[in-house]
Amino acid sequence: MSRIIASLLVIATFLVALPSASAVTIPTVPVGNAPNAADTTGYGAVGNGYRIGTTEVSNAQYAEFLNAKAASDPLALYNTSMGSGFGGITQSGFSGSFTYAAIAGRGNKPVNWVSWYDSIRFANWLNNGQGSGDTETGAYTLLGGTPTPTNGPSITRNAAATWFLTSEDEWYKAAYYDGSSYFDYPTSSNTAPTAEAPAGGSNSANYNNAVGDLTNVGAYTASTSPYGTFDQGGNVWEWNEALVSSSARGFRGGLWYSNSNNLLSSGRGGSNPSSENNIFGFRVASIPEPSTLLLGALASVGMLLRRKRLS
């Protein structure tokens, strides 16, 4: 009995130690059915459960990151092109006291003009609790202290990561896998989505210049992947962890003016990880929430207590 009580005390201590809510909330959905085999394309195999961002990271979310970490911006987390055109974030003030805000009407559109390095620095920030959390360590280790790390091609996810950029397989599985087979398109369909303005129908997406601009994340409310994600087809290309050549990082999903071929499960690409353009955005993923692990632990302790009473 003393061991059971000790276990309960450990769990209670862990509950108290959980971090408080942070400024940026990333809605996620669970991706289970693990382990699963790859598609015929060779992608999609994932050995464990995880959670993936329901949508791409938005301008409003990224602006909070900038306000926390880019007062002087030595890592070039902000691109001035974000302040006009298809961008969505303004910068005000002077170096050392820069402030950032989402442009009116564009806060819920996916952030763009972000490099691959920006995306993993955002993941590090989430991983380290936001606020003053470090951008150079955590889920990934970036060396050199400059916008382009000295160890760029060798960067991989660290074993203890809790928030991270999706791997190509994690992104692919969430987009196309239904638990037993793979769809061709990330709208739970083998037929190309209708390119139209939101909200659309059950198989619609922002591509083929149907809208002429990015749309709000999650605007196609009835068009989801099998696991419940939005916009894995169209809107912006999404960076993933893949090193597709010695000098390129992977992206998938197509964008608002691409054709349907780029939304297909066979559509993938790569670019210089320092590239910043209005076509690139990203989504993040995480390990299963601590609450899920705690519920399992509490259930196990409950079973032990019940067996003790019955013995």
Q: Where are the domains of the chain?
A: 28-297
Rounded CA-CA distance 206/234 in Å is 5
Q: How far apart are the first and last CA of the chain?
A: 12
Q: For the segment 195-238, what is each residue's pLDDT rounded down to a tens digit?
A: 999 999 999 999 999 999 999 999 999 999 999 999 999 999 99
List, in order, residues 6 or more apart from 190 with CB less than 8 Å away.
183, 184
pLDDT given for residue 168 in this prediction: 98
pLDDT given for residue 294 in this prediction: 42
Peptide bond into 186 cis (omega under 30): no
With beta carbons less than 8 A apart as the criterion, state whether 311 and 268 touch: no
Residues of the chain with pLDDT under 70: 1-22, 289-311
pLDDT given for residue 309 in this prediction: 41
- Using alpha carbons, list the distances in angstroms from residue 111 to 8, 42, 46, 248, 280: 43, 29, 27, 21, 8
Q: In 3D, which of 303, 120, 39, 235 has the Cα closest to residue 128?
A: 120
Contacts 24+ apart (CB under 8 A), 193-198: 193/223, 193/233, 193/234, 193/260, 193/263, 195/234, 195/260
CATH class (in words) of the domain with range 28-297: alpha beta
Radius of gyration of the chain (CA): 21
Q: For the segment 88-123, what is each residue's pLDDT rounded down to a tens digit?
A: 999 999 999 999 999 999 999 999 999 999 999 999
Q: What is the mean pLDDT of the chain?
A: 89
With beta carbons less than 8 A apart as the criterion, state whether 301 and 293 touch: no
pLDDT given for residue 298 in this prediction: 38
Q: Is the dihedral of CA 161, 119, 247, 43 positive or negative?
A: positive
